[in-house]
Amino acid sequence: MVTCSTYGRRHHFCGAARLQVLNRGLLAMASDFGWNLEAWAVFSNHYHWVGHSPHGEAGAESLREMLGLLHEKTAKWINRLDRTPGRSVWHNYWETLLTYEGAYRARLNYVHQNAVKHGLVTVANQYPWCSASWFERTATAAQVKTIYGFKTDRLRVVDFEDVAAEW
């Protein structure tokens, strides 16, 4: 699982067009590097995702390069848009290796439901920049019920309460 925040938790990606670019960039970069994302949620000042590293890659060595390229491209784009060249956009990322099935499934649920947690929507599949609607369309009803049944209230996940309501 990966969580990343913007520098100073600033809302650089506030608004539908900016969220769309970040969401599309995350999915494209993951695909380019061979990562298989199973859950993702993109917000104005942070994002989360759960995924599997590329086959044959012990320890997920490409993670740093992939995120570095994503952050470089999106920072340059947002700074060009805002006419603020050289501004720091991204702060840091935190990754967690998920080794227990229950922890993995709980984090899948956490990421799918994160827009609800932040009060942006009442039902996760209504938020366009997360994986909930994709998951509900592609998984079996039993898989959806199982994942959505995992408790998330006791998870220790880096998260940010101050997301922008505008999307």
| Residuewise pLDDT in 10s, the chain (167 residues) | 999 999 999 999 999 999 999 999 999 999 999 999 999 999 999 999 999 998 875 557 889 999 999 999 999 999 999 999 999 999 989 898 888 888 899 999 999 999 999 999 999 999 999 999 999 999 999 999 999 998 877 666 656 566 666 66
The CA distance from 31 to 6, in Å, is 22
* Domain ranges across the chain: 2-148
pTM (2 d.p.): 0.90
CATH code for residues 2-148:
3.30.70.1290
Contact between 47 and 65 under an 8 Å Cβ cutoff? The reply is no
Per the listing, tokens 């199982």 go with: 146
Burial class from Cβ neighbours inside 10 Å (0-12, 13-18, 19+) for residue 49 reads buried
